[in-house]
Chains A and B, each alone.
Chain A
Amino acid sequence: MIKLNPLTIKQLKRFRSIKRGYYSAVSLTLLLVLSVAAELLVNNRALMVNFEGKLFFPTYGAFLPGTTFGLGYDYETNYRELAQRIHEQAGTDDWVVMPIVPYSAFENDLREYEYPPYPPSVETRHFLGTDTTGRDVLARLVYGFRIAISFSLLLLACNYLIGVTIGCAMGFWGGAFDLFFQRLIEIWSNVPFLYVIMIIASIVVPNFWTLVLVMVIFGWMGMTWYMRTSTYKEKTREYVLAARALGASSARTIFSHILPNTISVIVTFIPFSIATGITSLTALDYLGFGLPPPTPSWGELLSQGTENLEYPWIVASVVVAMGAVLLMVTYIGEAIREAFDPKQFTYYE
Chain B
Amino acid sequence: MTSYFIRRVLLIVPTFIGVSLLVFTLTRLVPGGPIERMLNEAAMAGNEMGASAMVGGYDGVGGSTLSAEQLEELKAYYGFDKPVLISYLEWLGKVLVLDLGTSTRYGEPVWDTIRDRFPISIFYGVTTLILTYGVCIPLGIAKAIRHKSSFDNITSVIVFFGYAIPSYVVGIAVLTLFASEWELFPLGGFVSDDFEDLGFWDQVRDVFNHAVLPLLAYLAGSFAVTTLMMKNALMDNLAADYVRTAVAKGMAFKRAVFRHALRNSLIPIATSFGSNISLILTGSFLIEKIFNIDGFGLLGFESLVERDYPIVMGILVISSLLFLIGNILSDICVALVDPRVRFGSDGAAG
Given contacts A345-B239, A348-B244, 4 further A-B contacts (CB under 8 A): A191-B22, A202-B304, A282-B169, A309-B179
Chain B: CB-nearest residue to A329: B164
Is A312 a contact partner of B181 (Cβ separation < 8 A)?
yes
CB-CB under 8 A from B160, the residues of chain A are 327, 330
CB-CB under 8 A from A249, the residues of chain B are none
Q: Determine whether A5 belongs to the interface, using a CB cutoff of 8 Å to chain B.
A: no
Chain B: CB-nearest residue to A188: B18
The residues in A between 105 and 132 inclusive whose CB is less than 8 angstroms from any CB of B are: none
Q: Determine whether B89 belongs to the interface, using a CB cutoff of 8 Å to chain A.
A: no
Is B29 a contact partner of A203 (Cβ separation < 8 A)?
yes
Is A319 a contact partner of B350 (Cβ separation < 8 A)?
no
**What interface size band does chain B fall in?**
35 or more
Q: Name the 3 nearest CB pairs between A and B, nearest first.
A: A187-B18, A309-B180, A330-B164
Is B173 a contact partner of A200 (Cβ separation < 8 A)?
no
Give the interface centre of B147, B289, B304, B323 by most chain A CB atoms within 10 Å.
B304
Nearest CB of chain A from residue B232's CB, rounded to whole Å: 9
Is A326 a contact partner of B235 (Cβ separation < 8 A)?
no
Nearest CB of chain A from residue B311's CB, rounded to whole Å: 12
Is A202 a contact partner of B239 (Cβ separation < 8 A)?
no
Of A288, A306, A347, which is within 8 A of B239 by CB? A347
Chain B: CB-nearest residue to A187: B18
Nearest CB of chain A from residue B251's CB, rounded to whole Å: 12
Instruction: State in angstroms the CA–CA spacing of A195 and B180 once bound together.
Output: 29
Q: Determine whether B51 belongs to the interface, using a CB cutoff of 8 Å to chain A.
A: no
Q: Determine whether B161 belongs to the interface, using a CB cutoff of 8 Å to chain A.
A: yes
The residues in A between 187 and 212 inclusive whose CB is less than 8 angstroms from any CB of B are: 187, 190-192, 194-196, 198-200, 202-204
Q: What mask results when residues 22 to 65 of chain A are scored 1 for a CB within 8 Å of chain B, else 0?
A: 00000000000000000000000000000000000000000000
CB-CB under 8 A from B31, the residues of chain A are 203-204
Is B305 a contact partner of A202 (Cβ separation < 8 A)?
yes
Is A187 a contact partner of B19 (Cβ separation < 8 A)?
yes
Chain B at the A interface: SS class: helix
Q: Determine whether B163 belongs to the interface, using a CB cutoff of 8 Å to chain A.
A: yes
The residues in B between 269 and 318 inclusive whose CB is less than 8 angstroms from any CB of A are: 285-286, 289-290, 300-301, 304-305, 307, 312, 316
Instruction: State in angstroms the CA–CA spacing of A287 and B39 once bound together.
Output: 24
Interface size of A by CB at 8 A reads 45
Q: Determine whether B336 belongs to the interface, using a CB cutoff of 8 Å to chain A.
A: no
Chain A at the B interface: SS class: helix
Is B175 a contact partner of A309 (Cβ separation < 8 A)?
yes
Nearest CB of chain B from residue A320's CB, rounded to whole Å: 9
CB-CB under 8 A from B27, the residues of chain A are 199
Is B175 a contact partner of A306 (Cβ separation < 8 A)?
yes
Chain A: CB-nearest residue to B21: A187
Is B147 a contact partner of A345 (Cβ separation < 8 A)?
yes
Is A202 a contact partner of B307 (Cβ separation < 8 A)?
yes
Q: A202-B307, A305-B172 are in contact. Are A327 and B165 (CB under 8 A)?
A: yes
Of B29, B147, B289, which is within 8 A of A287 by CB? B289
CB-CB under 8 A from A331, the residues of chain B are 164
Is B173 a contact partner of A315 (Cβ separation < 8 A)?
yes
CB-CB under 8 A from B324, the residues of chain A are 190
Give the interface centre of B169, B307, B312 by most chain A CB atoms within 10 Å.
B169
Nearest CB of chain A from residue B47's CB, rounded to whole Å: 22
Instruction: State in angstroms the CA–CA spacing of A326 and B238 once bound together.
Output: 32
Is B319 a contact partner of A183 (Cβ separation < 8 A)?
no
Nearest CB of chain B from residue A300's CB, rounded to whole Å: 13
